[in-house]
Structure 1
Amino acid sequence: MSVQRFNLNPLLAACAAVLCAGGAFASDARLDEMYQALRSAPAAEAVRLGEDIRLRLSNSGSPAMNLLLKRGRDAMAAGDADLAIELLGALTDHAPEFAEGWHARSVAYARAGLMGPALDDLTRSLALDPRNFAAIYSLGALLEEVGQPALAAEAYGHVAAIHPYFDDVTLALERLNAQTRGTDL
């Protein structure tokens, strides 16, 4: 078994993007309202709002770029990470300011076992949109994968602050808190 090495600089940059979360990013009033409502919404409403936000973040404004994103995601769903990376690479080349393109390609890289490029793409995605709870969750998952449970728990904590009902963020936090706090004597 070989140990995969990677550069921690992208990891640290991605963490910094999440922690600072006040960077410059494209925003609109409706999206700001949705994020605000998401923090305090009851579970069912939060899930719906979260999906609405994700749909909004998945719209690049260009039908051609949206098609590349859809085809890249379809390739991932079909288990073809290489094709997904190729399609999403075309997306990031043609729409470098579209944060969700970088996030989607980071997921494809991670599924291909390429953690360094996945971290690079997450860094870019979070620099463009530090509120993207799905991208922050992906960062937490990558941090877990590379053996950084304390940083992963911090990322998941940021997800929970934005969207308390996102996927299994509560379970991930409980698991990591148990893992990182040790045992009582």
Structure 2
Amino acid sequence: MLAAILWGGAAHATGANSRNDARLEPLFQQLKNAKDPAVAKLLEAQIWHIWTWTDIEDVNLLMRMGIGAMEREDYEAALLHFGEMVRIAPDFAEGWNKRATVYYLQGNYTASVIDIERVLEIEPKHFGALAGLGLIYLQLDRKKPALRAFQKALEIHPNMPNARDAVKDLQRAVEGERT
């Protein structure tokens, strides 16, 4: 469940590459400056909406099918759908992100990190992928890289409560390792 919260849910962007979507930068700026967590949550939902869908109907169909398979915990089917999605639309960051999420859920952290790196090449402000990277490093007991990943996510989205809590815990743990 935590992975779904951090990596994001579902919700229309133009084209398979939302990075150039003119709606994103003002939303990121508002998200960064939002003082009210409820406002931040609305802005986050708008960003996920832009990230998650394209005007390529085949990709949207694969997204729906992949999300459905994830919800049923049919990870093999989800990987097939998301794998086809990244083949059809290699510049669609959310296809890679969803596949990274499935790999994470399967415990295949190496494959998940590879896909997250691709997400961040396409969309450097993908706070969900950064938080997912933090989760992977936590699973691997790599506290310093986990801390950096969560901190980067918070630079973009300061109101991510799970990431904020993780940073507090990790800062204490990392400082404890130094003493």
Band of TM-score, shorter chain: 0.7 to 0.9
Q: How far 1:110 sits from its partner (Å)?
A: 1.2
Change (3 A) 1:165 1:95: same
Q: SS state of the match for residue 99, structure 2?
A: helix
More displaced, 126-135 or 158-167?
A: 158-167
Match of 1:30 among 2, 19, 23: 23
Match of 1:39 among 32, 40, 45: 32
> Structure 2 length normalisation: TM-score?
0.84
In the alignment, is the contact (CA less than 8 A) between 1:126 and 1:132 conserved in 2? yes
- Say which structure, 1 or 2, has more relative contact order (CA 8 Å, 6+ apart): 1
Unmatched 5+ stretches in structure 1: 1-24
1:144 aligns with 2:138: yes
Q: How far 1:29 sits from its partner (Å)?
A: 2.5
Q: How far 1:165 sits from its partner (Å)?
A: 1.6
Q: For residue 75 of structure 2, what is the aligned residue in structure 1? A: 81
Identity score, percent: 29
Unmatched 5+ stretches in structure 2: 1-17
Match of 1:59 among 53, 58, 61: 53
One-letter identity of the residue aligned with 2:33: S
- Provide the rounded CA distance (Å) in 2 between the counterparts of 1:81 and 1:89: 12
One-letter identity of the residue aligned with 1:34: L
Match of 2:153 among 143, 156, 159: 159
Moved >3 Å (runs of 4+): none
Change (3 A) 1:146 1:157: same
Q: SS state of the match for residue 19, structure 2?
A: coil
Aligned residues, how many? 161
| Paired residues for 1:99-118 under 5 Å | 99-118=93-112
Offset from partner CA, 1:59-110 (integer Å, 9 cap, x none): 1221220121121122112111111111110111111010000010011011
- Provide the rounded CA distance (Å) in 2 between the counterparts of 1:184 and 1:119: 27
Q: CA RMSD in A?
A: 1.7
Q: SS state of the match for residue 26, structure 1?
A: helix
Q: For residue 129 of structure 1, what is the aligned residue in structure 2? A: 123
> Structure 1 length normalisation: TM-score?
0.82
